[in-house]
Structure 1
Amino acid sequence: MARGTASSRVVVVLGASSGIGRATAHALARRGDTLVLASRSADALADVERECLALVPGSRRHPHEAAAGGPPVLVVPTDVSVRDSVDRLFERAVERYGRVDAVVHAPAVVGYGRFEDIPAEVFDQVIAVNLLGTANVARVALRLFQRQGGGHLVLVGSLLGKIATPWMSPYVTSKWAVHGLARTIQVEARETPGVDVSLVSPGGVDTPIYAQAASYVRREGRPPPPVDRPETLARAIVKTLDKPARERSVGLANATWTAGFRFLPGVYDVLVGPGMSRLGLSTTAREPGAGNVFAPLPDGEDVTGKWGRHWLRGVGLVAVAAGAVGVRRVLAARH
């Protein structure tokens, strides 16, 4: 089956209840795409459904104007770490609309703490959601795309899939693995006409993920500056859906952090610990706990968190500029 046109795509958005996924659902609704919204939180998804229906262009709000089968938004509560749950999601989508043109996969959970202090079950569940969840979705999506003759899978990675930072070992491990999986299936997808696989890698983003994370450092996490808004990532994802690309990196500091990690590992290792303590952890006290790792916390789900792009913007820009200059000087000296 041929892929839908840009104005009539059927898009499955996973992680649609919060952060980047929710912002992406809003952006796709505005352009008139038919949406299948998925996350663990049925309550939060109901709110997102209402928000998206209010954003859909007027004529598309009526069932007869939607893709075959009903209104332009379908909600399917889904736990991506459970294969049967992912299977049911895609079955419902195809049953309702007859096809899936694109899949945006954004779910993620975070655990803070030294590796040995994070409970094994928390570490394992972060891997299950972030990595195995990505694999579960990609497997079903790619098989469906092969059957119907095309489709586009967009995976949300992270700057932390390219570098390492202390106190986030389960998240870093999972995102490195997600990047490896993405590159592998990108190569394999070259043999399947009409199938595209893209990776979008953000840096710091103002989402609720930090406040909802598991934490065993007695402090709440926060996005390191410079901080992008979820809407910025949503625009990058929509752009990627419109014009497929192997990878899009979103974040002013991404290139500097990656260059430092790769080319100046000794310097990077000295600086990343103090930097993470000052810029990646807030002063807000937190009792040790699993956060939303095992179950959603609907009351905390929203598009944005509490940081905003404004916090420490100047510090972030100065740090990025200084880091970039330092990297260039050291590399020039080496040559």
Structure 2
Amino acid sequence: MNLKPISQQVVTIMGASSGIGRDAALKFAEQGAKVVVSARSQEGLATLVEAIQQQGGEAIAVPADTADFDQVKAVADKTVERFGRIDTWVHAAATSVFATFDRISPEEFKRVIDVNLTGQAYGAMAALPHLKAAKGGSLIHITSMEARRSLPYQSPYSASKHGTAGFLDALRIELKHQGYNNINVANILPSVINTPFYNKGKTKLGVKPTGLPPYYNPSLVTDAILYAAEHPVRDYIVGDVGRLLDLAQRISPSLVDAILLAISFDGQRTSDEKGEEPNNLFEPMQGYDRVEGDFKQLEVPSVTDVIAKNPAAMFSTIALAALGGLSLLLSGASDKH
């Protein structure tokens, strides 16, 4: 699969006004890509385009609600009209309701699905004709570790992420069957990331919600996105804890149930009182057009992300671990003689 260097790419980013999408737009532009940014927050897009232009990059903004296909298609069309093509499409838009399932209305549940799942499908529908015409490129979808393991208080969000992962699995096979082997369909699954997501989601907990610590910096996810823009990637988990959770879920879902039962209800509640309004469920929410959230003090580094992007390092780590194990075994054997 031949993917262009980022410096030669035209990149469209949905959900770019804050968090991971905003950071990705800035980093793509820093590396020379032409960038089209989209979100509902026109104010957030305006400050983002200004920041990109101030650093010498080239970007335009096309406001859109990802739950509206015509608006999403307009973003793709505007990208091609302005820059002639799409090389990478990044879909990061998401929203949530933090509440037990019995307190979520049908309209709220549907809205989360419309934005997080149907919106992701709309993005692929809008971008794929252009990637097919170019006979290659990257379709990068940001889901979550909740695509692998659901959490209480987040049933619609978890459902939307599971659905997106299933949709992408089917899409990959169809593209291969149709002969589009140069289209990279990547699913990026972040662990808990320090973005304004927890400020903007609707909460019925009576307090501001939080992810289950530790947090990771948004730059880790951005690094994975930029990597997937230039390298074939299928599923990329961001964060050591996410990889451990994935392994535990595969080995014993009931054990993960027990752990989450013990820690996830209190663990997702801060002590900061917060009502249901304001939130970004149906309308954009002003004041949070930034990359990072409020949990910087809970951020930790991730060792396995470096290894995941460097197969040589991964094999070296395995080899060192194997040699270490062999050496201990031989040492134990020699001690017996």
Paired residue type of 1:9:
Q
CA RMSD, Structure 1 to Structure 2 (Å): 2.0
The Cα of 1:77 is off from its aligned counterpart by 0.3
Asked if the contact 2:5–2:230 (Cα under 8 Å) also holds between the matched residues in 1, the reply is: no
The total of aligned residue pairs comes to 300
The Cα of 1:211 is off from its aligned counterpart by 1.1
Match of 2:298 among 311, 328, 331: 311
TM-score scaled by structure 1?
0.85
Task: Name the structure 1 match of 2:162.
Answer: 176
Task: Name the structure 2 match of 1:153.
Answer: 139
Secondary structure of the corresponding residue to residue 298 of structure 1: coil
Distance 2:262 2:204 in 1: 18
Paired residue type of 2:26:
H
Asked if the contact 1:37–1:45 (Cα under 8 Å) also holds between the matched residues in 2, the reply is: yes
Task: Name the structure 2 match of 1:333.
Answer: none
Distance 1:201 1:249 in 2: 5
The Cα of 1:312 is off from its aligned counterpart by 7.5
The Cα of 1:238 is off from its aligned counterpart by 0.6
Paired residue type of 1:266:
S
Distance 1:48 1:128 in 2: 25
Distance 2:262 2:106 in 1: 26
Distance 2:185 2:211 in 1: 27
The Cα of 1:286 is off from its aligned counterpart by 1.8
Distance 2:238 2:156 in 1: 22
Distance 2:6 2:215 in 1: 30
The Cα of 1:178 is off from its aligned counterpart by 0.7
Paired residue type of 2:102:
E
Task: Name the structure 2 match of 1:32.
Answer: 32
Distance 2:28 2:109 in 1: 33
The Cα of 1:219 is off from its aligned counterpart by 2.0
Match of 2:258 among 270, 275, 284: 270
Paired residue type of 1:311:
L
Match of 1:240 among 225, 228, 231: 228
Distance 1:257 1:271 in 2: 11
Distance 1:41 1:288 in 2: 20
Asked if the contact 1:204–1:225 (Cα under 8 Å) also holds between the matched residues in 2, the reply is: yes
Distance 2:300 2:182 in 1: 41
Share of identical aligned residues, percent? Answer: 27
1:208 equivalent in alignment to 2:181: no
- Give structure 2 stretches of 5+ with no counterpart: 304-337
Matches within 5 A, 1:93-112: 93-112=79-98
Distance 2:280 2:192 in 1: 19
1:87 equivalent in alignment to 2:73: yes
Q: How far does the alpha carbon of each residue in 1:235-278 deviate from its partner, in whole angstroms, 9 at most, with x for none?
A: 11111112121121101111222233332232222220331123
Q: How far does the alpha carbon of each residue in 1:34-67 deviate from its partner, in whole angstroms, 9 at most, with x for none?
A: 00001111111000001111223xxxx5xxxxxx
Cα separation, partners in 2 of 1:184 and 1:47, compared to 1, 3 Å: same
Task: Name the structure 1 match of 2:47.
Answer: 47
Instruction: Tell me which stretches of 4 or more aligned residues in structure 1 moved more than 6 Å.
Output: none
Distance 1:185 1:290 in 2: 36
Distance 1:122 1:268 in 2: 27
Task: Name the structure 2 match of 1:126.
Answer: 112
Distance 1:149 1:135 in 2: 20
The Cα of 1:290 is off from its aligned counterpart by 6.8
Task: Name the structure 2 match of 1:73.
Answer: 59
The Cα of 1:133 is off from its aligned counterpart by 0.2
Distance 1:216 1:253 in 2: 27
TM-score scaled by structure 2?
0.84
Paired residue type of 2:138:
H
Asked if the contact 2:145–2:190 (Cα under 8 Å) also holds between the matched residues in 1, the reply is: yes
